[in-house]
Structure 1
Amino acid sequence: MNNNWFRRLLLSYLPVFFIVTTILFIIFFQIFNEQNRKEALKANEFLASQVTQYLDNSLRSIDFKVLREILTNSNLKNYYAVTGSDDVYAGIQAIQVIDELKIEYPLIDSIYMVRYKDDKVFSNGKPVPIEEFPDAAFIEDSRAAETQKWVGGRSFKAFPTEEGKQVITLIRGVGNGKGLIVVNVDLQTLQKSIMQMYDPEFTFVNIFNRSGGNLWDGGMAEEPAAKASSGEVFSEFTSSYSGWKVQTGLNNGKVVKFALKFYNIWFVFAVAVVLIGVAWVIYVTRRNYKPIQQIVTLIETVASQKQPGITYAKENEFRFIQTTLEQMIDQTKQYQEEYEENLILKKKYFFQELLEGTKEFTGDELAAEMNKFNLPRLDDRWTVMVVEIDRYSRFIEEYHVQDQSLLKFVLSSILQESARKENTEVWAEWISDHRLYAILWLPETPQPEESERRLLSGYLEQVEQYLNFTVTIGIGRVAVDLRGLRASFKEAIRALDYKAVLGLNRIIPCGDVPSSTNDVYEFLRTISLLVQAMRLSDDDWEKHFDKLFEQIHASVLSRQEILNTIQLLFQHVNREFAELPREYHELWAEVMGHLLRNLEDWETAEDLRELCRDGFRKLAEQLQTLRCTKKHRTHILEIRKYIEENYNNPDLSLNYLSDLFDINPKYLSKLFKDEIGEKFVDLLISQRIEKAKQLMQETDKAIQEISEEVGYTNYNSFNRAFKNVVGVAPSDYRKAI
């Protein structure tokens, strides 16, 4: 590798050194000649232009910023447009605008706002009447006279008791006579900033306002450099922006005259300084280059070991170091991101292991893992809660993926904040897309359950207040060990399964879940009546449908039990419609396909009720339309009605009906099969057995008497038919009820 940087350092120092020494020669050898005077004039002109430019830029930037705030800042507009004279919120917003201006522009000493609507001045965080404000006379003059942008050299005090301060003032009107914004620039701070451009020992700078007054008079009277100088003026500039005049010149030349008396001594001294400076630059460059050389050598050694055969002879040293450092920084950043990501995943995986019981932990192992993730130890009492987003399908439709992640983070953050308010801790993780699982440490208070209730109630209120969706929370029992914690986890999930019947946007403790009263026989009976009514296009099907869901609510079924009930309903409909003609079966297949596709997109039993009601209503309408097109619809309805009214006639048979309605027996049998979906004998037996069951439930009549009453002259035939339909003998059925 070439020592390019060594030579570059050397060539960088020497020109600077020669420039500085040349300037020293010019200052000490030519100070009182005419050439030096011209140079001094140029220097003063440059200084005067720089001071003028700095002054214009400083004042113009403040003016521009204030004007832009007046035109664009809604908070400022609200303050001047507020109807109430003591609008605290508008005042707070105005304070923010004032503070931002002061922070952005350190030259600003103070800002106050005048509002003509109520003749108030807003200063130092509160409004006061104009007549009580110390600067009231200045405000009245500004209001009466033609407004000027900048007013220079005046005394200002914000409180009557404090001593006046010299300032220059910017006046800006707001909204066609609504008020003023007055910005005071500290004259002392401005002068100190300008004094950094020159040496007051040799040079003076005076600034005069439009009226001819010197800004420095009275500004910093205690410092000699602050007084208006009467030395020779070398340069003068007038600001095109403020109209102020800047004068510069020399105070005196005593030191320069003294220096010229020793011309030869200064010359020899300057040459010696140049030689010493050259030697010093070479020495310092070589010394400063050694650490760089060592670093480069070390990097080359390591790099050559990793990648043999690579040379760096033509590469700049600093470029080589920069490239290496950038690679190291990129690798470090990548490793850090991977580590943090892995840590988050490990923490979530540990959370699942802890709750699901996929791994057993000893006491020491559990404590070590909790310390690893900076979690509080499981020492006292805790419980598991599961927060589920209500209407999650609507949630993912309304929000973008990034917004979903942000809202889930907000849900977790609100839970953390609610726990901190109750002086406890919570560990929450999004294990699934729509559920937030959390371990809640119960506080050491006399009534920890009350703290838990307040925490969760407050959490629900905040979610409902600040977000456009709601959540439902399932709570497990309080645990005191790891086994209890895992049991609490299962109980919290189970509690959420009852959201379907208990409702959304609520807390469901596992202890408050009532016991299910699932009467399978009643469900089967209602389903059978519903399917029969649906198959026959009986309008009573909706009554049976509503009764089925009333039974679901009354039984307090879980989500899975509700799904099992609906699946049972579908199975019965499938079995019944399988016996009907193909077009009937196709109608049901279409409706069932739609229902099955949407069977998971419900959260409450009411949602499921409406979903199924729409499907069954559509099916009923289509069945009605189809059957109305059948040729012998009227005959079948009359025959069915006759059977329902005369089922107890022992002579009732297919031949009997064919003679009665003048229809061929074979054709009548086919009509029964096509339109009703079952054989005549099956329909007759079903009617008789249903009536027999009703009589056994509602009366104390003997079974023999009931069999004759429903149309069976032979008790054995009745017993056999009843057992085939119901599944038990009539005597056993009566004992069961």
Structure 2
Amino acid sequence: MNNNWFRRLLLSYLPVFFIVTTILFIIFFQVFNEQNRKEALKANEFLASQVMQYLDNSLRSIDFKVLREILTNPNLKDYFTANGSNDVYAGMLAVEVIDELKIDFPLIDSIYLVRYKDDTVFSNGKAVPIADFPDEPFIEESRLTNAQKWVGGRTYSPFPAPAQTAEQVITLVRSVGSGTGLLVVNVDLHTLQKSIKQMYDPEFTFVNVFNRSGESLWERNPQDRTNAGRASGEVFSEFTSGYSGWKVETGLTNGKIVKFALKFYHIWFAFAVAVVLIGVMWVIYVTRRNYKPIEQIVTLIQTVASQKPSGAGPAKENEFRFIQNTLERMIDQTRQYQEEYEENLLLQKKYFFQELLEGTREFTDGDLKAEMEKYGLPKLDDRWLVLAVEIDRYPQFALDYHEQDQSLLKFVLSSILQESARLEGTEVWAEWMSDRRLYAILWLPGSVLPEEVEHKVLSGYLEKVGQYLNFTVTIGTGRGAADLRGLRSSMKEAARALEYKAVLGLNRMIPYGALPDSKNDVYEFMKTISLLVQAMRLSDEAWEQHFDRLFEQITASLLSRQEMMNTIQLLFQHYKREFAELPREYQELWAALFGNLLNQLEAWETVDDLRLLCWEAFRELAEQMQTLRCARKHRTHILQIRKYVEENYNNPELSLNYLSDIFDINPKYLSKLFKDEVGEKFVDLLISHRIDKAKQLMQETNKSIQEISEEVGYTNYNSFNRAFKNVVGVAPSDYRKAI
């Protein structure tokens, strides 16, 4: 292919590209530097104010704390008024004050107390004469000047040289009492500088602190303090403390270089504009000269694709877009075809796997060999076996993971199985035949025992699944096969082996050849089921013992999952037959429980799961049957009680407590049952009967109202009068007059 067009475009645009990008870079650099300078000024002002504020707050807090201790702490006063240096207790109290100050303020390096009374210095837990103390010149100077302030930048050592290297400190001197002594606090300059350095990056920014004399606190050599830091960069901002009188200077370490570069900002900008204009004109010229080949390409594409342009204008204005769209369509069609081909290939491979194991299609040797080569599978010319991998607790697995995550985890399970087989020098072909079950064909090399290969591959597989995943699997394996018929039998055996995980447990390998012999004693099951159903029908608590006995028999019999389900179905049939002879309410209870339990029986995996499901359902059934029997019994009592009230309404002692003693029912429970069954309260029913009888006596006899009152059960006439008026609406005397 002739690349002349490519070289022409490359040589035409590269010079312009280099020039334009270079100028843009320079412009960006200048603009960036100018912006950085403005931001640097603001940042340095803020940094200087923060440093000054930090210094003032730190020193002021120490000063305030020291002053408060001097004025208010009795232990400190006791030390300065103690009689001589032998007062050990006063010294101990003074140590507590010093330690408390050091704990409250980590910046404090050392504290010592000067007592004029006996000219001693208390430092590091002991008292020494002032003359023997290394800081004696400073003490004498402070004593003469009576200074109470921060002293910036000096050398201090609590022990005579060379016992300890002298340190650079700043010192606070405070007079105690009326000339009784001094309290001297030394702040380590190194620690203070270290705290301040956390506020900025020393590679780009410097911070200098100067005392009242203009000396730098950071430099050890006094001759270099005046110009410390200034030679390294330009000072951008400075602040002077109103508290200590110290000055803080901040700036950039390369400020002079930036300042020099910014002077040429306008020259660079004008030069960049001129070069850009020249580059634009050059691009226009070259584009016009090289336009013709583009037009030829567009014409060729239109001819090959049999497309007719809608007009000459759009085709000339959008040549590159036209070429791009054409290429994109071609790429999309190719990609779509490739994806469809790969997807169809995967589906065909899975379908071939099903045909191979389920026996829905017969294969000749030639057909089988061709299909295996088509999908890149090993030849079936050795021995093989089928294994079935089932995800344990699949309903919980579906709840814990999103659908996409489930697909990914299933792919991981398949990949781990293939990797485990390769590590043992063999191959495996695995396909997901259902949501929870993966079937696989494992090749067995002829030189190794099948059981040995099977154990190594699957034990390593279970170990990796347990190590990398948050769930487990159970594997059922069939026996080895040497032909297609044996392979299909091996699949059925693997599925059969998984049926026994209900009794053998989860997260394990279950070979078909090692399955236990089931001891399905139908007679014993029938006997236990009959006793269980009879006890449940009679609400006998012994049903729980029969229930436990039934599941002990199921577990001891080593039944498969299907056999367990057959046993449970037999139990359900007995229940249905027994409940058919009970009243309708009991049949409805069983129907509701059976429908709910039947839906849940699809999800159990082990015999313990099955036992728990049935136990909860049967316990609920027993409780509801007991409640129903109690309700029916109490309903009979209520009818008897109502009849008793109607016959003995004239008894003055008739009440809920009276009835509860007769019928042996709790008064409160009796009141509730009465309201639920009769529809009205006991008191209302009693009053209604008494008033009806009183009205009848008024109409049919000439007895006095007092006599009628006593005859219907009221010993107090006022109570009868009030009750009659509340029910009838008029007094008894007015009622008799009206009839």
Query: Please, what TM-score do these two structures have when normalized by structure 2?
Result: 0.49
Instruction: Name the larger-Rg structure.
Output: 2
Query: Please, what TM-score do these two structures have when normalized by structure 1?
Result: 0.49
